[in-house]
Structure 1
Amino acid sequence: MAAKIIETNNTPLTKVEVEGVTADIIENALKNARIEMDAVLFRTAMSPGIREQGDCFPMIANKQGKMVVGQFGSFIGPFMDAYDAEIEEGDIILTNDPYMCNAAVSHLPDWIVLMPVFKDGRHIAWTAMFGHMSDNGGMVPGSIPIKATTVYQEGIRIPPTKLYKKGELQSDVLELILHNVRTSQWNRFDLNALVAACRTAGRRCVEMANRFGDDIFYSAMDIMLERNFNAMKFIIQNFIPEEPRTFEDYICDDGMGMGPYKIKCKMWREGDVAIFDFAGTDPQAQSSVNFYLNEDMFKMFFGSFTINVVDPQIVFNDGFYDLVEVRIPEGTLLKPKFPAALSGRTHALGRLFDVLGALLGAGAPEQMLNAAGFSDSPHLFYSGYDSREGKNNEWFQLFQIGFGGVPGRPAGDGPDGHSLWPGFTNVPNEFIESYFPLRIERYETIPDSGGAGLHRGGNGLSVAYRFLVDGEIAIHDERWFTYPWGVIGGQVGLRSTKKLVRSDGSEEWLPSKCDGIKVKTDDLLYFNTWGGGGWGDPLARDAALVLADVNRNLATIEGALDYGVIIKDGAVDEAATEQLRVEMRESRGDIQTFNFGPPIDEIRANCKQETGLDAPETPIFR
């Protein structure tokens, strides 16, 4: 049974004609309100993951729950379908459980706040925001346990719950929730910040309705959705083929010695409707790398990716959702059955963007095809008791999102050391060193890690963490086994590595997914992320650009040879370069659309020698 909105004013909102200028004013005012939500959150949140890095996603939706402005697409519809209760003015709902809200959120550390907006007793809009909490309880600090086999091991599950009833905070509910997490103070402040952001946007909605009238405000939201619908209809008709197109890629492993796991998708168009079918995706994993993907969330991924590639000026909202059909078989990696573990879903999420980019771009590689590199959102966790003088042995817990190499693309080189999510920012090293017992001894790009190409892939990052007290670390990362692929002649990017150098000088290679790793004072972790794949023929890249990369320490003299460029005495040897490029063109064979690197069997056979780690075993599905 779906949720029911209780209104004291039953006069229905009416769709009316809205002048174009007025619609534009309301559209931009709503965009500004969405930006203001971020501003409020960043100024009032406590944890570095939200306050410094921006791991949060706001939205404003119309009365029916369709997002009109925002960042992560509608989750109100799935929530409303699953929430069997009445909702009144002043209510604010909190949840984090994917299984209780039709995957409106996809793992337990993401706490989502939803607030209906009322004016004069009528429901006129929704505001909502979710943020990644530093801790949610469960098996390990940070609440993303690698070896979890059920969601029960991943921390507290909050069903859709009224945090506020008719404007009154339900303190007993809040205290019960916070009693089950390790970072209760941070979570309290971050949750208050989410509420404040939603209330701010709610006030802006009421102000707009007061200024222009309820019906005009309501109708302007419909116009925004209609604009998006029409723009996406044109894009789908022109960029999605009627002939099916299929692509598959892999999550390297599950952190428990099994892998790789396949994500497969077939895309085609029937009339005006784009269809994405994930039949052939591997069954759900035994560990926490499953991603419970709501169909509307994938529509959001498709819309966001397509709009940013084709025309970033198009307002991004849910208007086009009826133009997309998503089919995800139950019991697979992307729709696991309860109570499958979900906390490590970031790996599949990142891989979806690589798959989506390949599907959309393969038909027009010169205009739309990116290489691989939206491969993951690397995480580092470091926790323990601070034994330094004056710290009173207090508990500390760091959660940091790392950055990798963004792929080469038609528009140019991939950015070096950037995030899967464009809005994320790094935590300043000075901040980390001030608040946590560690020292960052290196923070730099890895030369030559981006795949060579006419437009090279972005370089990965090498960050060296010196631990100043005994503690425990956990790592989440990808692309250590399979390569970030290149396209239309571009080369693969360098794979990720993690090396721990102990204070006694001994060294060990760490898996890309591990937790419970004990570290001692003065141990040093080298956290190296992947490089993006290259785009286009590297032999066509301007030799002057290759030299500039060498001078900026983004490439080496040896790496310049991948472009057929010979550098001597700080300058390009033009004659030798031309000769080398002729020889390389004659010997390399035909250029393929995709360069995946060696076959999986060859990667598996050479894994120990090349990575220092045992190859994952082929998954056994029950």
Structure 2
Amino acid sequence: MINEDLILSQVVGGSLDAIAREMSATVTRTARSPLFNEAHDFTTGVFDLAGKKSRLVAQAPGCTLHLYAVVGAVDHLMEAFRYDLHPGDILLVNDPYHGGSHSLDWTIVMPVFYNRKPILLPAVRSHMGDNGGPVAGGYNPRSKDIWQDGLRIPPLKIYERGEKRKDVFDLIVANNRLAHWLEGDLDAMIGACKLAANRIQSLLDTYSPEEVIKALDSRIRYTERRVREEIASWPDGTYTAETYADHDFQGNRDIKVKATVTVSGSDLQIDFSGSSAQAEGFINSPLSNTTSFAFVAISTCCDEDIPINEGYMNPVTVTAPLGTVVNPKLPAPCGHATACVGAEIAEAVLLAIAEAAPKRVGVNAHKLPLAYSNGYYDDGNPWVNLNFFGYTGGAGAAYETDGWGLYPPVMTGVILPSIEMNEMQYPSRVLKHEYTSNFTGPGRWRGTPGLDVQIQHLTESWTSVMMAGVRNTTRGFCGGKDAPSNKVIVDYGTEENAEEIEETAFGINMKPGGIIQFHRAGGGGWGDPLERDPSAVLDDVLNEFVDVEGALRDYGVVIDTETMSVNIEGTNRERDKRRQNKTTK
């Protein structure tokens, strides 16, 4: 590549990344739903149509689990309308069986034309607050088929030749409990695409479409080369791992996800053969969702300065047998796939890669104890609160770094809402949201500490709970210990109604003032806990992430409670004794 080509690639690629970021800011600042304007539960990106299929060419930081799932949605939209696209068309899809993940994630795409030919495709994928169907909020633990997950939207046009299809728009809004939010949220997504279209037109006026595509080809090749260099550094071989989801919310337990990863030079094959058959409950992962979680796993193993685009997945082949929990047949329900079994998909891939590249894996954790609530405002409009504060935490450790922050990598673009704004937007109070001791996976590097969260709803409410990570907790890596179990108590603090949810609960009615308590486990550890620096253990004790007893139990570190310092001799004796016990077993 000559310098001029390199410069053009950087300018065009950087311009499209900036456009994607401006799209993201537009959605945040104009949407009505707190899911958008506070939690940032959406992703924006730009695709091109250089070949038969679309390619991801730019993206803004967002909900990471959306990133590659958007590819399937855009491809299905292009397949449906390739010979019926016109300037001003805006497309929508949410169907898991048309490139979606779960039906709560909606994708809007606006093709940008130049000389009557579609060139680039700005897109927004967002988690909506409701999706019609039997239950408020769209998560239906009783779901038996895809229709009980909520409204299915196949590929359709909501704008045609620049004119709003009001009948289609009204039909969609009418089938949503949060119509007072939905219309504004859709307008925000559409507005972001229109803004991007104007910016892209200016880019195409400055550089010809041929130059733009040439620059994007170069940028994709660069990403692919960087990813291939990473894969090629791993030893050739076949590596297998399996993990389990606790249940499918229909009484079936220990749902297996098996990943066989084959490294061959700079090529990587991921085969999910041997995974459980598709489940009765709503945890089935459509192929685009499965591919996206595999992408999340691979991206966490690569340098963060690699541009995110189609080149990331070019070296990777994903195989998922039809009729399994990782590639179900219609009409299997999929409503919970972005958490369960999505978490297990990424976890199984990382556990397999750990055999080849142990220093590159870790940090994944997404086994959410999902408990969402709904009720009514004083004006009669319904509200749905996903209780985001209860899902924070869970990020695991990686080589040379403890778990950090409040969200694991699959949700790193999601922002913890402001407690004050949350209390203005919902009739609720966040009574507690704090780290707690001895509630993470120990290791040479430990996972993020677990949290104790208490959320109170001030008006009558109904809460459904879907537990995960209770029996099959988030895994540690390379000798690190697994995370502890999640726990949720509904009507916490009342003697007569307090209930710890073991697996699932549906529509529990709570009186005004009812409290939900989340014990959100921390992430898994990395490496043998006996190799953790004793001074780091002491820091954790002083920060109350670990207590004195936990330091001894989990790390073999003896703390002098009078001086609050490490007893070096006692620690060395304790650790030597434990290591000797290991070798004699």
Residue 487 of structure 2 corresponds to 497
Cα distance change on mapping 1:509 and 1:503 into 2, 3 Å = closer
Residue 404 of structure 1 corresponds to 393
Whole-angstrom distance in 1 between the partners of 2:567 and 2:227: 49
Whole-angstrom distance in 2 between the partners of 1:590 and 1:285: 43
Asked whether the 8 Å contact 1:503–1:520 carries over to 2, the reply is: no
Q: After the TM superposition, which residues 93-132 of structure 1 pair with which residues of structure 2 at under 5 Å, given as runs?
A: 93-99=91-97, 101=98, 104-132=99-127
Which string of whole-angstrom CA distances, capped at 9 and with x for unpartnered residues, describes residues 36-81 of structure 1?
Answer: 1111110011111122111111111112310111261323223323
Which string of whole-angstrom CA distances, capped at 9 and with x for unpartnered residues, describes residues 253-276 of structure 1?
Answer: 112222110001111145653221
Residue 144 of structure 2 corresponds to 149
2:24 counterpart (38, 41, 44): 38
Q: After the TM superposition, which residues 18-167 of structure 1 pair with which residues of structure 2 at under 5 Å, given as runs?
A: 19-64=5-50, 65-70=54-59, 72-73=67-68, 74-75=71-72, 76-83=74-81, 86-99=84-97, 101=98, 104-167=99-162
Residue 445 of structure 1 corresponds to 435
Whole-angstrom distance in 2 between the partners of 1:298 and 1:154: 18
Cα distance change on mapping 1:463 and 1:287 into 2, 3 Å = same
Structure 1 residue 406 displacement after superposition: 0.9
Give unmatched runs, 5+ long, in structure 1. 1-15, 592-622
Whole-angstrom distance in 2 between the partners of 1:88 and 1:449: 55
1:274 counterpart (249, 253, 268): 268
Q: How many residues align?
A: 564
Residue 193 of structure 1 corresponds to 188
Q: Does 1:520 align with 2:514?
A: no
Asked whether the 8 Å contact 1:236–1:273 carries over to 2, the reply is: yes
Asked whether the 8 Å contact 1:60–1:67 carries over to 2, the reply is: yes
**How well do the aligned residues superpose, as a CA RMSD in angstroms?**
2.2
TM-score (norm 1): 0.86
Whole-angstrom distance in 2 between the partners of 1:299 and 1:143: 23
SS in 2 for 1:549: helix
Q: Does 1:183 align with 2:178?
A: yes
Cα distance change on mapping 1:168 and 1:590 into 2, 3 Å = farther
1:318 counterpart (303, 310, 319): 310
Q: What amino acid does structure 2 have at the position aligned with 1:21?
A: I
TM-score (norm 2): 0.91
Q: Does 1:338 align with 2:333?
A: no
Structure 1 residue 467 displacement after superposition: 2.5
Structure 1 residue 177 displacement after superposition: 0.8
Which string of whole-angstrom CA distances, capped at 9 and with x for unpartnered residues, describes residues 395-425 of structure 1?
Answer: 3221233223211110310115324311111
State which drifts further: 568-577 or 278-287.
568-577
SS in 2 for 1:79: helix
Q: Does 1:291 align with 2:285?
A: yes
Cα distance change on mapping 1:465 and 1:299 into 2, 3 Å = closer
Structure 1 residue 445 displacement after superposition: 1.5
Whole-angstrom distance in 1 between the partners of 2:580 and 2:225: 48
Structure 1 residue 188 displacement after superposition: 1.0
Structure 1 residue 573 displacement after superposition: 2.5
SS in 1 for 2:509: strand
Whole-angstrom distance in 1 between the partners of 2:315 and 2:567: 54
Q: What amino acid does structure 2 have at the position aligned with 1:351?
A: E
Whole-angstrom distance in 2 between the partners of 1:461 and 1:168: 49
Asked whether the 8 Å contact 2:347–2:475 carries over to 1, the reply is: no
Residue 571 of structure 2 corresponds to 577
Q: After the TM superposition, which residues 385-424 of structure 1 pair with which residues of structure 2 at under 5 Å, given as runs?
A: 385-386=376-377, 391-401=378-388, 402-419=391-408, 420-424=410-414
Structure 1 residue 113 displacement after superposition: 0.3
Whole-angstrom distance in 2 between the partners of 1:563 and 1:529: 22
Whole-angstrom distance in 2 between the partners of 1:412 and 1:229: 27
Q: Does 1:350 align with 2:337?
A: no
SS in 2 for 1:353: helix
State which drifts further: 415-424 or 491-500.
415-424
Q: What percent of counterpart residues are identical? A: 28
Structure 1 residue 301 displacement after superposition: 4.2
Asked whether the 8 Å contact 1:503–1:522 carries over to 2, the reply is: no
Whole-angstrom distance in 1 between the partners of 2:304 and 2:507: 43
Structure 1 residue 149 displacement after superposition: 0.4
Cα distance change on mapping 1:30 and 1:512 into 2, 3 Å = farther
Asked whether the 8 Å contact 2:45–2:122 carries over to 1, the reply is: yes
Residue 209 of structure 1 corresponds to 204
Asked whether the 8 Å contact 2:369–2:488 carries over to 1, the reply is: no
Cα distance change on mapping 1:453 and 1:551 into 2, 3 Å = same
Asked whether the 8 Å contact 2:27–2:37 carries over to 1, the reply is: yes
Which string of whole-angstrom CA distances, capped at 9 and with x for unpartnered residues, describes residues 4-55 of structure 1?
Answer: xxxxxxxxxxxx9962212211111111111111111100111111221111
Whole-angstrom distance in 1 between the partners of 2:212 and 2:82: 29
Which string of whole-angstrom CA distances, capped at 9 and with x for unpartnered residues, describes residues 112-165 of structure 1?
Answer: 101111123232211111101100111111011011001111221111111100
Whole-angstrom distance in 2 between the partners of 1:26 and 1:504: 59
Whole-angstrom distance in 1 between the partners of 2:304 and 2:291: 17
SS in 2 for 1:310: coil
2:426 counterpart (433, 436, 442): 436
Asked whether the 8 Å contact 2:354–2:477 carries over to 1, the reply is: no
